[in-house]
Amino acid sequence: MQIIIYALLNYINCAIKQDTNYEIAKCLLMHIDKIEKLSLEETANLCHVSVSTLNRFCRIIGFSNFSTLRHFIKIKEDVSLHFESNKTDPSEKKTLEKMNENMESIENIPMHLFDEISHLIHHSNRVILLGFGEFQFPALYFQNQMLSLGKLVEICGQINQNDVNEVNVEKNDLVIITSVHGNYLLANQKKIRQWNCRKVLLTQIQNQDLVSQYDLILKYGIHDDERLRKYTIMRVYEKIILNYYQHYHYKKND
């Protein structure tokens, strides 16, 4: 469900005008818990639009049709709105312990890997960030911070796995893929293998068949708790940003 929420919020935030599609996005968000039980016709009536208009909106935000969108709504994630609301609760304490272990594992990543990523970023014509689901918010943060350091980073595929088919790369480009489980890689393996460019993978997976095609692999985190994922990704991005700043921005402006 979170994937759909990100897609709809992203559309509303970026909408130039509050037109029919804007109203559809709002209606779907306000009734997101009901949609999985509604048919295409029932959802179209709820949004006060035709079936064809609703299906067209689904394609606009990256899904092939309403059935695909509803499928992702049915996927339930473990979401906590109060991550540190009760530190004495055993489950919360366990989560915080996992968080600390993940952060420690990131701090122990060899520095030369961050040096290599920074080098690739600096010497690439284009830098394209790819990922899926909760990758979006950390990716926007990374994009903003890198721009402040003079490097434009593009984000593609942050909403729908199929967006990768729209990505065109050239030899001197760099693609940085964030895939915790490897699901994103499995869904797009054929397309990614066709790219004749430099590729960096940020992941926790061990599958050698999936990771063998990458120029650089950075494995981070020990635990893959749903609640930890965005914090873990954010910390990895922060380390890359700091390294890039030290090598290519701070020295330049010293």
- pLDDT tens per residue, range 70-96: 988 887 654 444 444 455 667 788 888
Second-level CATH architecture of 2-73: Orthogonal Bundle (1.10)
Max mean pLDDT among 44-58, 128-142, 164-178, 208-222 falls in 44-58
Second-level CATH architecture of 108-249: 3-Layer(aba) Sandwich (3.40)
- The pLDDT, as a whole number, for residue 152 is 93
Tell me where in the chain the CATH 1.10.10.10 domain(s) lie: 2-73
Mean local confidence (pLDDT), 55-63:
89
pLDDT exceeds cutoff 90 at 158: no
pTM for the structure as a whole: 0.72
Nearest in space to 203 (alpha carbons), one of 223, 225, 221, 226: 221
Tell me where in the chain the CATH 3.40.50.10490 domain(s) lie: 108-249
- What single string gives the DSSP state of each residue in 116-176? HHHHHHHT-S-EEEE--GGGHHHHHHHHHHHHHTT--EEEESSS-GGGGGG----TT-EEE
